[in-house]
Amino acid sequence: MRKWLAAAAAALLLGGCTPAFEIEKQEQVVEEDENQQSEKAIIPNYQISDEYYKTLLPYESTDTRGMVVNNLRSRYDIDVFESGLVRVAKNVYSSDKYLFKEGQILDKETIQSWLNRKYTSKQLEEKGLKEEQNIGLNPVEETPGEGKDTPIYLAHVIEHNYLEKVEDSKIQLSGVVVGLALNSVSYYQDQNTGETRQTNISHEEVQQQGVQIAQEVIKRMRQKPELDGIPITIALYEQSSRDEVTPGNYFAYSTVNADSASIGDWKAVNEEHYFFPSVQAEDAHPKDLKVFNDFKGKIESYFPNYVGVVGYAFYKEGKMESLEIDIPIQFNGKAETIGFTQYTAELADKLFPKAMNVEIEITSADGAEALIVLGDKAEPFVHIYE
């Protein structure tokens, strides 16, 4: 969906279609915090779709920007960890009522200290730290040795804020959503051999540790005065391993009421990502994979100058929500690219079910060449990059 939105935005700008963005038509509001401090902001009238929240202008980024890149293992996990948390939030805060803002409560120093290990008294002394600084949420590291490992469970913490109008021109914080990224594989260095080893962490252990860490996070957040009377939703994300070409997924979330510091029931999140073609996709969704393989086979037999066709499928509640297909090409000119794109669009429209959201990006060594989007519309959207 990101590629489609980028192309559509480019088309709007090139076509001069800007009425929806005119400043005089945007709504001016006052954002008020817990100390009765107010700040003026603007709510844009234009909203791409109900899949996305409106955001305040000027945009206020979080103090923790950039940390996710260092703490998660792949671009796949970075994207899904953030976008998946927005999907979780929509279960609690509707996009037609609430506004989105990057997290403003948890700063960089706080999150980094939470990601540390817990230290023993001796370790605190060696590091020159005080007991009040001993707030790491990962377990104490035992004396390392061959075959021994104390996993780092918590990889990252992300926070999103949701605001709503309380008066005609006033908005305030109404909810906070926090995502905890948890490791499914522990990587450590064997002190005897110097080798990097790894230990798989079972989903049951990930879940158990995640629930415990989540409760401590809620307890600490409830001590912050700016969250007094604010409900907090917390979600658990299981990160994939370094070698995976697909991201992990959120698997549970819970909302803590405004007057509580205890997590009650957890709700399951049924989301999965699959690489097409793969054994995992064959086992889980053979019918969808067959359609993809038919498409892939016809593309590769019709045009010999191909590199390969791969897909990334996203499933929610067992149903495919989207399929992103990448086709790298080795062509000699624009005319050949246009011809290939036309053929690909016609073939995709014929083979893929109308209800399936499909994005096909055609690339070359020079970058993006074309974009094809199929969905509930009668005709595919096709864009040739100049």
Which CATH number do you get for residue 85? Answer: 3.10.570.10
Q: Clarify whether residues 218 and 344 are in a common domain.
A: no
pLDDT by residue (tens digit) across 128-154?
Answer: 999 999 999 999 987 654 456 789 999
67 and 141 together in one domain? yes
> Is 261 domain-assigned?
yes
Residues 200 and 293 grouped into a single domain? no
Q: Are residues 89 and 235 in the same domain?
A: yes
Residue after which a domain boundary falls, among 269, 304, 325: 269
Co-location of 280 and 265 in the same domain: no
CATH number at residue 373: 3.30.300.190
- pLDDT (0 to 100) of residue 5: 42
Q: Are residues 69 and 198 in the same domain?
A: yes
Query: Which pLDDT score, from 0 to 100, does residue 27 have?
Result: 79
Are residue 176 and residue 250 in the same domain, yes or no?
yes
In a domain, 4, yes or no: no
* pLDDT at 355 (0 to 100): 81
pLDDT of residue 6: 43
Q: Say yes or no: 31 and 100 in one domain.
A: yes
Range of the domain at 180: 27-269
Domain boundary pick from 269, 304, 322? 269
pTM of the model: 0.88
Please, which residues have CB within 8 angstroms of residue 93's CB and are 6 or more apart in sequence? 162, 174, 175, 177
Specify if 10 maps to a domain: no
Note whether 193 and 207 are same-domain residues: yes
Last residue of a domain, one of 251, 269, 287: 269
**Same domain for 176 and 151:** yes
- Strand, coil or helix: 190: coil
What is the predicted pLDDT for the residue at 212?
A: 98
3-state SS string for 241-297: CCCCCCCCEEEEEEEECCCCCCCCCCEECCEEEEEECCHHHHHHCHHHHHHHHHHHH
CB proximity list for 99: less than 8 A, separation 6 or greater: 43, 53, 54, 55, 56, 162, 163, 164, 171
Number of Cβ within 10 Å of residue 173's Cβ equals 21
**Assigned domain for 2 exists:** no
**Regions of the chain where pLDDT drops below 70:** 1-26, 32-37, 143-148, 305-307
Considering its fold, how many domains does the chain have in total?
Answer: 2
What radius of gyration do the chain's Cα atoms show?
A: 24
DSSP letters for 201-239: --HHHHHHHHHHHHHHHHHHHTTSGGGTT--EEEEEEEE
Residue with tokens 């390392």: 144
